Amino acid sequence: MTAADLVPVVTIDGPSGTGKGTLAVLLAARLGWQCLDSGALYRVLGLAAARRGIDLDDAPALAALAGNLGVSFVGGRVLLDGADLGDAIRTETAGMAASRVAVHPGVRAALLEWQRRQACPPGLVADGRDMGTVVFPRAGLKVFLDASAQVRAERRYKQLREKGLDANLPALVEEIAERDARDRNRAVAPLRAAADAVMVDSTALSINDVFDLVVEEVRRVFPDQVHEVAAE
């Protein structure tokens, strides 16, 4: 038993562009719990490696960097060595670099305990690829969120454009397919649903529909944690 097992945890795993991140933030706010965006960790590592001139295939150097990563999350902002990274980690290039550094077992091992330490009272919502399978295998509720590749690319396109970032839909479809294949086929902690995960296909659902559905699941598993929202 680890400290993480004493705190209620909801994990949300799935491929990119399913709305995991948005769902995790909304759910954490609704419950008043902490939120862990584990993808951001891998994105920061990819960016830090690029800044230090470390090759994304250099497993030992990346594992050493991961073990010493000066990352912090402050009110929705991501800081590296105290400096706000802004949207630099949200680009598709950063996502691709994250997916490449994430294949190295030493990198994943170096980031494991840091992630588990985020499970603090009153609870944690954690989103990523291996939250329910590796990082929090005893989480009370595990959600696996999926959607068709085309819809995921369209959502990612909209999200990037809204942030004022460059985006090209056909290129995104290809990049998402490449990233999915790497994340699903790597040897360590590949993207897959935990055997006990609740499967949600968001292809035809709005984020509000998905949110309502998952809040019902939380209510079922942690009946004391979902407090009614007072009517306006």
Which chain residues interact with ligand DC by CB under 6 A?
A: 16, 38-39, 42-43, 95, 98-99, 102, 128-131, 179, 183
Closest residue by Cα to residue 30 from 226, 232, 210, 231: 226
Q: How far is residue 47 CA from its own chain's centroid?
A: 16
The answer to whether the beta carbons of residues 147 and 68 sit under 8 Å apart is no
Closest distance to ligand DC from the beta carbon of 97 (Å)? 9
**Among residues 42 and 157, whose Cβ is nearest to ligand DC?**
42
Residue closer to ligand DC (CB basis): 59 or 226: 59
Q: Which is nearer to ligand DC, 8 or 104 (CB)?
A: 104
Give CA separation, 105 vs 54, 58, 63, 124, 171, in Å. Answer: 17, 12, 8, 25, 29
Nearer to ligand DC, 78 or 218 (CB): 78
Say how many C-beta atoms besides its own lie within 10 A of residue 140's C-beta: 16
Shortest distance (Å) from residue 64 CB to ligand DC: 18
CB of 224 to ligand DC, least distance (A): 28
What is the spatial order of strands in the sheet that 198-201 belongs to?
Answer: 34-37, 124-128, 9-13, 141-146, 198-201
